[in-house]
Chains A and B, each alone.
Chain A
Amino acid sequence: MKMDLPERSNPVASEIWAVGGGKGGTGKSFLAANLGISLSNQGKRVLLIDADLGCANLHTCLGIDYPEATLSDLLTGRIKRIEQAIVPTGIPRLGLISGAQDILEMANPKYAQKMRLLRQIQELDVEYIILDLGAGTAFNILDFFLIADQGILAVLPEPTSIENVYRFIKSVFYRRFRKIAREEPVREIIAQAMDQKNEYGIKTPYDLIEQVVRMDDAVGERLKQEIYALRPKLVVNQVRSKDDITLGFSMRSSCTKYFGITVEYVGYVEYDDHVWQASKHRRPMMSEYPNCSSARGINNVATHLLKHEQLTIDYLVDTAPWR
């Protein structure tokens, strides 16, 4: 199977953000929808795409009914152009392409279909495209995450969610590695490395690179460059305490020490009853309660992503001088 993703050829192509994170229920769709609204509030032209094939419900987060035209129509060829699948959201400058629901085979589009779709996405006349990815670490999800300019990970301050984010990061890197390494022995090592109990004792992407360097210097160097280039962004959702906020810094540091990779902590969203109230009314939180604490959290995350900034620890530990 050929593994190339299309190159970003158009210099003014829209920027793609993808929201993933492994576990279900960590707020991926919530983040995608509300980041989209936050950007549109700042005057950006934004397209939301529900890439959770098979379990699409981003339209519900936005308070609209399941649209007539969806991603599945595009993948089956029922509609030819991606523009035909865009539905208005009632929010200025924000469009939506809904995902496929129920059609099981659509959850795994063929590689060529996916590539055609990605090419079309990149040529759309919008400034930002936000992909809402499904749960899990299926190749489809990893590929969408990898093509994004900014890959965003939604994590809850809970052990299961944290474990799954780490697993997701690992899968993303190995997927990327497999795509750039063409040499058969190297590919074999990478495949082996995915198995935690592999015979080479490879536990981390770092170990893997060491192993590859021993086999083929040039390939090892390419993998090293990849590891520097990929910088997943972390958002801690539903924080209730200062410890929960600290978790983002600790996860960032753990990833550096364990995987040898750079994760950027772009913000957190406070646990807030307004989110639940908005969701019960099938209304997006950002539209319903634009000044609540979680809305401010979303705006902060959006600002950091736009400016390529992140939180710094002095923010965390600083105490006010009047103490």
Chain B
Amino acid sequence: MKPLREQNYYEIFEIPLEATKKQIEQAYELAKKTFGDNSLASYSLFDSDERKELIRRIHLAYETLSDEERRKKYDLEVMGRSVPSRTIPTDPEPIKNDSPPLAPVRAEAKGGIFEPFDMATLTGEQLRKIRERQGIPLQEIASKTRINITYFEFLERNQYRSLPPPVYLRSYISQYARLLGLDPKAVSERILSLAERLSGGE
């Protein structure tokens, strides 16, 4: 572990030399959040001048690493990489030589966050999985929509019978879907059809 002033750009972002563009973007976003003015995580460890200096170095690191030409030059001159013509891996490729602390891959994420789903067979439980993979707590959806969390819990447990009447449900599901980045109309229609089938059935 080196002191901050001696850390290279990769160490600042805690990413491997093989990091993809997307990993750099992610690390940059996280670093800005972590050492920004309102960060709960860092205010008690670093004073405001130290955080300003950190943010300055984070921006510098990003300017270089996000620019392919500048990154190649940096790799060659500072990191001492002997192969100047290496190509920066594109994103769909798996990262091979990840270094700690980012090394282990989350068990479930391997299952594929991009796993496609079929709107025609979509269930409430599938919606829960999509939500959890995006790291959005149900409580956040309830606070943002001001809709009782219990309804969303019923939805995610496939307990369609317990959901409110269609006139409310359509709006509730649309808002929920929008927060997950899903098509509000398609999702609400699918869930309404599930709810109707059940209430009409017995």
Which residues of A pack against B, CB within 8 Å?
157-159, 162-163, 166, 206, 227, 239-242, 244-247, 249-254, 256-258, 260-264, 270-273, 291-293, 296, 300, 303-304, 307-323
Decide yes or no: A270 and B138 within 8 Å by CB, A250-B41, A309-B104 being known contacts.
yes
Q: Is the CB of A249 within 8 A of B34?
A: yes
Give the CA-CA distance A246 to B40 in the complex, in Å: 11
B113 touching A159 by the CB < 8 A rule? no
Contact B1 A260 (CB under 8 A): yes
Chain B residues with CB under 8 Å of A249's CB are 30, 34
Instruction: Report Cα–Cα, A264/B106, bound state, in Å.
Output: 12
Kindly name the residue among B40, B42, B46 whose own CB sees the greatest number of chain A CB atoms within 10 A.
Answer: B40
> Is there an interface contact between B114 and A157, defined as CB atoms closer than 8 Å?
no
19 A-B pairs besides A250-B34, A262-B100, A312-B109 with CB distance below 8 A are A158-B40, A241-B137, A244-B137, A246-B33, A253-B34, A254-B34, A254-B46, A256-B1, A256-B14, A257-B45, A260-B1, A292-B153, A293-B138, A313-B102, A316-B26, A320-B134, A322-B182, A322-B183, A323-B181
User: Which one of A206, A304, A311, A319 lies within 8 Å of B134 (CB-CB)?
Assistant: A319
Q: Could you say which residues of chain B place their CB within 8 Å of the CB of A319?
A: 134, 181
Query: Given the complex of chains A and B, what is the CA–CA distance between A293 and B157 in angstroms?
Result: 11
Q: In the bound complex, do residue B30 and residue A246 qualify as a contact, i.e. CB atoms below 8 Å apart?
A: yes
Q: Which 4 A-B pairs have the closest CB atoms?
A: A250-B41, A260-B1, A250-B34, A309-B104
B contact patch SS: loop
User: CA A239 – CA B54 in complex, angstroms?
Assistant: 27
Could you count the A-B residue pairs with CB atoms below 8 Å apart for me: how many are there?
143
Q: B107 an interface residue at 8 Å Cβ cutoff?
A: yes
Q: How many angstroms from the CA of A314 to the CA of B113 in the assembled complex?
A: 10
- B101 close to A (CB within 8 Å): yes
- Minimum CB–CB distance from A249 to chain B (whole Å) comes to 6
Q: Are A242 and B181 in contact (CB under 8 A)?
A: no
* CB of A18 to closest CB in B, whole Å: 20
Interface residue range, chain B: 35 or more
Residues in chain A near residue B43, CB distance under 8 A: 159
Max count, chain B CB within 10 A of own CB: residue among A261, A308, A309 = A309
How far does the Cβ of B42 sit from chain A's closest Cβ, in whole Å?
A: 5
Does B140 touch A at the CB level, under 8 Å? yes
CA distance A300 to B109 in the complex (A): 12
Partner of A162, one of B44, B100, B109, B136: B44
C-alpha gap A146/B152 in the complex (Å): 42
A102 to B94, CA, bound (A): 55
Q: Is B106 touching A312 in the complex (CB atoms < 8 A)?
A: yes
**C-alpha spacing A53/B126, complex, angstroms:** 44
Task: Tell me which residues across on chain A come within 8 A of B130, comparing CB atoms.
Answer: 320
Separation in Å of the A259 CB from the closest CB of chain B? 8
